[in-house]
Amino acid sequence: MMDAPSERTRVKRLNKRAKYDAETVHGILDAMPICHVGYMFNGAPYVTPTLQWREGSRVYWHGSSASRMLEACEDAQVCLTVTILDGFVMARAAFNHSCNYRSVMAFGTARKLTDPAQKEQSLKAFTEGLWPGRWDMLRKMTAQELKATTVLSMELDEASAKIRSGPPGDDEADYGLPIWAGVIPVRQELLAPADDPRLLAGLAPPRHVTDFRIG
């Protein structure tokens, strides 16, 4: 992680919202597993939603070894973006409406994990990062499943965060207008876990399920 922006991570628009420090970037990645990965395929840009996780200064994502997305990303330039919407910002003029959000854009070259043991270790870190204690409760991963799973990662050395928070910024002359302005806060809500219809009798959701939070 570099504390100074590279040419392409330097936030051009509204750069008072920009942050380049590892703590901020890592905090946003750790708070929201959903990401959107951008890559080129047949000369056109693609954006695929998937889950990401972080280990130290690298970000990871995974999928089926048959995935077109993962194949197109391997050894190629990608952009991985994580966005947490925190609110709709309602101003007195259409022009000053905005959103409160925390986002990260990370650029780099995606590399495939080739060592099966390292791949399994990384999938464990992914699972444990979301649901501590779950990995060892699960049926053990088979060699065939590991083979059918591709894990990609890239160094977080070209990443930037952008954050907006707080009330609307209206034109000074507009504050006297009788128009409701403020923020509608948004968050990802996790509802009560729903048992699998085929769950064995007497099994309750473990703590890593009932305590799970994102955002």
CB 1 → a second copy: shortest distance, Å? 19
The continuous run of DSSP H or E covering 99 comes out as strand 98-109
Handedness of CA 111, 77, 18, 99 (dihedral sign): negative
165: which 2 tokens?
């928070």
Total residues binding a second copy (CB under 8 A): 96
Q: Which of residues 88-147 bind a second copy (CB under 8 A)?
A: 88, 90, 92-95, 97, 99, 101, 103, 105, 107, 123-124, 127, 130-131, 134-135, 137-139, 141-142, 145
Q: Please say whether the beta carbons of 8 and 158 come within 8 A.
A: yes
Nearer to a second copy, 114 or 180 (CB): 180
The continuous run of DSSP H or E covering 117 comes out as helix 116-130
Query: CA 28 to CA 20: how far, in whole Å?
Result: 12
Nearer to a second copy, 57 or 165 (CB): 165
Nearer to a second copy, 112 or 134 (CB): 134
Q: Bridge-partner residues for 51, per DSSP?
A: 34
Nearer to a second copy, 58 or 134 (CB): 134
Each residue 31-60 as x (binds a second copy by CB under 8 A) or -, in order, gives ---x-xxxxxxxxxxxxxx-x---------
Q: Which long-range contacts (C-beta less than 8 Å, at least 24 apart) are formed by 59-62?
A: 59/29, 59/106, 59/153, 59/154, 59/156, 60/122, 60/125, 60/126, 60/151, 60/152, 60/153, 61/35, 61/37, 61/151, 61/152, 61/153, 62/122, 62/123, 62/126, 62/149, 62/150, 62/151, 62/152
Closest CA to 158 of 45, 103, 69, 79: 79
Q: Which of residues 10-29 bind a second copy (CB under 8 A)?
A: 12-13
CB 19 → a second copy: shortest distance, Å? 16
Nearer to a second copy, 26 or 37 (CB): 37
Q: Interface with a second copy includes 83 (CB under 8 A)?
A: yes
CB 63 → a second copy: shortest distance, Å? 8
The continuous run of DSSP H or E covering 81 comes out as strand 77-90
Q: Which of residues 152-171 bind a second copy (CB under 8 A)?
A: 167-168, 170-171
Q: Which of residues 179-198 bind a second copy (CB under 8 A)?
A: 179-198
Nearer to a second copy, 67 or 112 (CB): 67
Which of 52, 149, 153, 160 is close enough to bind a second copy by CB under 8 A?
149
